[in-house]
Each structure stands twice: as structure tokens, then as C-alpha cells.
Amino acid sequence: MEYLALFIWLALCLLVGALVHYLMSGALSHRAVQLLAAPGMIVRKVTMTVVALLCGGTVTRVSIYQLAPQDVDFRADGIASVAKVLVPLAPLFGGAVAMMKLNVLFGSPLNLSYTHPSLAALNVSGFRGFFYGTWLILSSIVGQAIRADWQTLRLYVMFALIFSLALGACSAFPRVKEALLGAVLVTVALALFSSIAVRRAGVLAASPEWFTAARSFIVNCAGVAFLMTVYGVLIALPVGLCVRFFETMSKGGAKGSSRKRGRAKGASADDEDDRLAA
């Protein structure tokens, strides 16, 4: 049940991240938004490159300091083909690690601790309890944002960086399928190691500390990634509205200027006709 809950948790992170990408898809064409997203894009490309290399793949093209394209190109054959599903999932963990480090660097203005929702049973009541726990976490995130000390500049910088990390971690809905396969692989691997290598006598059973640490790291990153993507949605809504308002005003001004130029051309043509008639 623990690992099924972890998979659902990762799936929620990916879906919320896809919602952030959808809300900001049009705004990402603006230079100012691209500069805001640059730190998150750098974290995205670095983590994707590292995971691709760790899986045994060959990175053929990566542009760390370019705002576009968002992904890296790599080749992976044989066993290394696992990179095809793990690389799309990597930015989620990279963004979560960066968010935890930034929170410590800024004096921990946000409370990143949470109670991971548990799935008690595979029935209606079990899933109801899991999603109710998720709803409590969502409520605490919104409440924390409302109660935050907005008079300090570091909080604005912190939320701007979190928004950038969320943009870097999220993927479009068509890419979510690959990342979901990566989440399945991670949770299945953890479950297999937990049931075979740790609970039974074996090579890894003598030193299970590393496995416990790795499992705690993945669970913590999944929770922080969920907080990051939720904050990303909360910030993407006003940012997206502001960008669309700016686009509407710009189009309205451009249309007004074109109409004025058209009237001016028409008036000059009439004057020319009058001179010819005279």
C-alpha cells in the first residue's frame, strides 16, 4: 500500500505540473517569462543529463544555458533504454531538491514538512482517506501562502524561484505518459528491493541503511515536488492572466494604430484626388 500511495503521489505531481505547463504555454513565448523560467530550465536540463548518463545513455545534444528547447537529446539502447522513462521524471526530483536547498538558503521561510497520505486499503474508504489527506495538505499550502510574511523581499524572491523550478519540472500532457512509466518503474523497484533484498537474507540485507535512506529521499522529494507544483499553479494563475491582459492591450493598441494609419492614408488619397480634379 505504501508504494501504491507513492505512485499516486508522483502521478498527482506530474498532472499538477502538466496543468502549470498548460496555463503558461502561451506566456512562455514572452522574453520576460522565459527569463523567469531560466533557473528552473537549467535545473531541468542538468538533472535530465545526469540521469541519462547514469542510466548508460549517450547525450547527443544539450543546451544548458539556452531557454529553448526544454529537453536534452540522448540515445539509449539495451538496458540503458530505461532512461527513456526515467529522464522525463528526473526534473521533478531535481526541482524538489533545489527547492529544499533554496528554502534553507533563504532561512526556511516555508514549511516543507508534511504528513504523507497513507492508503490503508484498496477500497473506497482507503482511497477516500488518501485523497482527504491530500486535500488537507493542499489547504495547508494555501493557508501558509496567505499567512506568509509578504513584507520581506526574500519571500518574493523565494516564490519567484519556486515558480521557475515548477516551470522547469513540469512537462506537457503528452510527455506525462512517459514520466508516469518512470514513476511506475521507481515504485516497483522500491517495492521489489523492500520485499526481496531487505526483508530476506541476501547481499543487500546486511546493510539496508542505504536503501532506507534512498526510500526516504524519494518519498520526501515526491512530497516537496507536490508542494512545488501546487505553488506553481497558484502563481501561474495571476501570471497567466497578466500576460493575457498585456497581449490583449497590445493587440488593441496595434489595431487602433493600424486604423489611424488607414484613415490617414484615406484622407491623403482624397486630398490627392481633389488636387487632380482642380
Q: Is the peptide bond before 69 cis (omega within 30 degrees of 0)?
A: yes
- The predicted-structure confidence for 215-245, as pLDDT tens digits, reads as follows 788 888 888 888 888 888 888 888 777 777 7
Phi and psi angles of residue 58, each rounded to the nearest 5 degrees, phi first: -115, 115
Q: What is the pLDDT of residue 268?
A: 54
Q: Please say if the pLDDT value at position 174 is more than 50.
A: yes
- The predicted-structure confidence for 251-272, as pLDDT tens digits, reads as follows 665 555 555 555 555 555 455 5
Phi and psi angles of residue 75, each rounded to the nearest 5 degrees, phi first: -115, 140
3 state DSSP class of 74: strand
- The predicted-structure confidence for 120-172, as pLDDT tens digits, reads as follows 777 777 777 777 777 777 777 777 777 766 777 778 888 889 889 998 888 88
User: What is the residue range of 53's domain?
Assistant: 2-277
- The predicted-structure confidence for 199-211, as pLDDT tens digits, reads as follows 554 544 455 677 7
Residue with cell 493600424: 258
Mean pLDDT of 166-193: 85
Q: What is the pLDDT of residue 12?
A: 87
Question: What's the CA gap between 254 and 249, in Å, rounded?
Answer: 9
List Cβ neighbours of 152 (8 Å cut-off, separation of 6 or more): 109
* 94 band by pLDDT with thresholds 50, 70 and 90: very high
Q: What is the pLDDT of residue 261?
A: 56
Q: Is 59 exposed, middle or buried (0-12, 13-18, 19+ CB in 10 A)?
A: middle
Angle at the Cα of 18 from the Cα atoms of 17 and 22, rounded to 5 degrees: 120
Q: What is the pLDDT of residue 276?
A: 45
Mean pLDDT of 20-43: 81
Q: Residue 59 pairs with which residues in a beta bridge?
A: 74
Q: What is the pLDDT of residue 260?
A: 55
Q: How many domains does the chain have?
A: 1
**Count of beta carbons in the 10 Å neighbourhood of residue 84:** 16
Instruction: Indicate the residue type of 177.
Output: K
- The predicted-structure confidence for 43-88, as pLDDT tens digits, reads as follows 988 898 898 888 888 888 877 766 666 678 888 888 788 888 888 8
